[in-house]
Amino acid sequence: MSGRSLLEVSVPVATVWARPDAPRSVDAPAVLDQADVPGWAAAMDHRTRRGLHGRVVTQLLLGEPVEVLERRQGWARVRAPRQPSSRDSAGYPGWVRRAHLAAPVRRDAGRALLVAEDDAVCVLDTGSTLELSFGTRLWTECPEQGAVLLPGDRRGTVVPGDMRPVGSGPAYHPDAVLGTARRFLGLRYLWGGTSSWGLDCSGLVHLTYRAHGVVVPRDAFDQADVVEPVPLHEVRPGDLYFFARPGQRIYHVGFVTRPVAADGARWMLHAPESGELVEDAPLAEHRHETLVSAGRVRGQQDAGQDA
């Protein structure tokens, strides 16, 4: 069934798959109508997580808009405009469960807020709850009371102190950006992850900057194309390192956390699949061998307008 429409993610995290038959039996919690991404991520061992290659392409947070291009047996082929990608100029493409999408929030009045805590909870008017990821964007007509509007004509309440205005603070400030990235230290790697329950390398960069009102592409190779190039010997904290194997495109990215040391040592905060946990550590030998460039984000701040 074809026919385009605009909808929004109605669950805390919607996983975007390469195709409808990509999920394995172990992935069932992520594709339930009421997706349990925290439980799914926690239950997978390293080998099972590696099996997500070629299956998961990204994730979308509650409220993210999508353009639905096709519907097929409970699935929707979508493009996600808040995740720029060279795969599709209109937004990151892939398949999501149709049950994870709903009618957009009506934004006749109010403003956008960003979830700024890792353990924020939205209590729906029905009494049920939604555990929200850091970086989730919500729409409120009464921020002082934490009242929020949700896709699918739902309403809820979030502790006001767990949210802040979208676009508050500087569009680019290295200390603030690194401070946000550091909140994920120790988080387990998740291929395609963009939430508090698992991140991949470019997902860490994408979510961190989005929390500061700057939208960067979703994938590392696309991120490398939009940054201001910086000579490798002139990097400073807050810049990005990019890595590629000979003759191949960029496959890894991380935040520079220290100037280059006199002995050539370089430190990076990143989400390494091999190490499993987000870390701030000196570059390993294989990283030095594949380090190809560095860059600096000079993004425009998002004023909180919602499409």
Q: What is the pLDDT of residues 95-130, one digit of tens each?
A: 999 999 999 999 988 999 999 998 899 999 999 999
Whether 47 is covered by a domain: the verdict is yes
Q: Is the per-residue pLDDT at 2 higher than 70?
A: no
Residue with tokens 């569009």: 171
269 pLDDT tier (thresholds 50, 70, 90): very high
Contacts of 286 (CB under 8 A, 6+ apart): none
Q: Are residue 58 and residue 142 in the same domain, yes or no?
A: no
Whether 307 is covered by a domain: the verdict is no
Whether 216 is covered by a domain: the verdict is yes
Q: Where are the alpha helices (DSSP H) in the chain?
A: 28-31, 37-43, 46-50, 174-182, 201-210, 220-226, 285-290
Whether 305 is covered by a domain: the verdict is no
Whether 304 is covered by a domain: the verdict is no
Q: What is the mean pLDDT of residues 240-260?
A: 97
pLDDT of residue 303: 38
pLDDT of residue 168: 57
Q: Are residue 195 and residue 259 in the same domain, yes or no?
A: yes
165 pLDDT tier (thresholds 50, 70, 90): confident
Whether 183 is covered by a domain: the verdict is yes
Q: Are residue 279 and residue 202 in the same domain, yes or no?
A: yes
Instruction: Provide the residue range defining the domain that includes 6.
Output: 2-102
Give CA–CA dist 198/307, Å, rounded.
27
Q: Which residues of 157-185 are buried (b: 16+ CB within 10 A; e: fewer)?
A: bbeeebbbbbbeeeebebeebbebbebbe
pLDDT of residue 276: 87
Q: Are residue 234 and residue 156 in the same domain, yes or no?
A: no
Given a contact cutoff of 8 angstroms between Cβ atoms, the answer to whether 216 and 299 are in contact is yes
The distance in angstroms from the start CA to the end CA of the chain is: 25
Given a contact cutoff of 8 angstroms between Cβ atoms, the answer to whether 240 and 204 are in contact is no
Q: Is the per-residue pLDDT at 170 higher than 70?
A: no
Give CA–CA dist 94/20, Å, rounded.
9
Number of structural domains found in the chain: 3
Q: Which of 102, 131, 148 is the last residue of a domain?
A: 102
Q: Are residue 154 and residue 225 in the same domain, yes or no?
A: no
